[in-house]
Amino acid sequence: MSDVEKPFSPGLAGVIGAETAVSLVDGANGRLLYRGYPIEEVVSKGSYAAVLDLLLTGEWHPNATLEPVRVPPAVMAALRLLPAHAHPMDALRTAISVWGAGERLGWPPTADEARRIAAMAPSALAAFARLRQGLEPIDPEPGLDIAAAFLQQLHGTAPDPGTARALDAYLMAGAEHGLNASTFAARVIVATRADIASAVCGAIGALKGPLHGGAPAEVIGQLDEIGSIDRADAWARGKLARKELIMGFGHRVYRAYDPRAAALRKVAEAMPARPAWLELAIGAEEAILKVLAELKPDRPLKTNVEFYAAAVLQGVGLVPDLFPATFGLARIAGWSAHVIEQAAVDKIIRPDARYIGPAERHLP
């Protein structure tokens, strides 16, 4: 078949790029399954450590643990060299790259390697967050799970159980979501027989783009613009009249309410105290959904995960520019599971390109 005859799909939309047993994203019916288990059940009954184990092995071990580790000296030295204005995603990518350089990683990648990245990465991100404020990094306290230790290393004190649980739920909800851009990048990299650190670094690079990982931070700005629940209706109408996007609503895959958003809303509502911003988020969501249904009746624009991700992340005390990198911490589980799965296929990913440049010509 000639290049002209081969089908072309911009962005590879609709093209099956992999077969996977890791997750099922059912956009039409608003379902997300991790190895067959609904995301709502996973978030309500599990922990990030259990989800990591499930995605890597296919088995549900509710008592699985993931002990956070201190930042290795080489990684800490690299983080100290970064400028304070560096993006947290760059810091996370740098930390994993330096870690991988010292680990003598082999091929194919292993679940043990994935767990070691997942245990170190939150400590590294928290260390950078403190360094850029002129504060010294601190080691994780013994006995804390990965979410609680991240907040402890970030803020200097261990969080209350409800706050730690809220972040743990966010990490579970963000752990995996099919063949998205960053996951595809990770699979392409490992398909060349590169190591797992290289694949995760490439995935972080893809996630850094604002079309993929930056929406929760923008939701906070929108809530600040709305200000009060009684202004949400007029605000939404104004956005649509100006043909501007409303972040946190609509999804490329989901045509129903994003199941991750539903799970995170329950978590947000169960946090120890419901501050004014959470009441605003809940009230604004209802008003915006009504406006969307009225003005966009032919487009199923429902709440997506970014809306309540923003509420949870702000609620546990993260500043908005840490949101994408914290999403990256969560997604290490899914990336790693896909990387291991792709390595088992052991076939390089090499699609064709259709040439549209000038015909053959000769230099004068």
> Would you please indicate which residues are annotated as catalytic (active-site) residues?
251, 306
CA-CA distances (angstroms) from residue 28 to 25, 175, 232, 258?
9, 21, 28, 10
CA distance 341 to 187: 9
- Per the CB < 8 A criterion, the answer to whether 91 and 82 are in contact is yes
Nearest alpha-carbon partner for 121 in 152, 99, 143, 145: 99
- Per the CB < 8 A criterion, the answer to whether 327 and 181 are in contact is no
CA distance 303 to 251: 8
CA distance 318 to 310: 10
Buried-state track 318-356, b at ≥16 Cβ within 10 A, e below 16: bebebbbbbbbbbbbbbbbbbbbbbbeeeeeeeeeeeee
- Per the CB < 8 A criterion, the answer to whether 295 and 10 are in contact is no
CA distance 134 to 88: 15
Token pair, residue 326, equals 């914290």
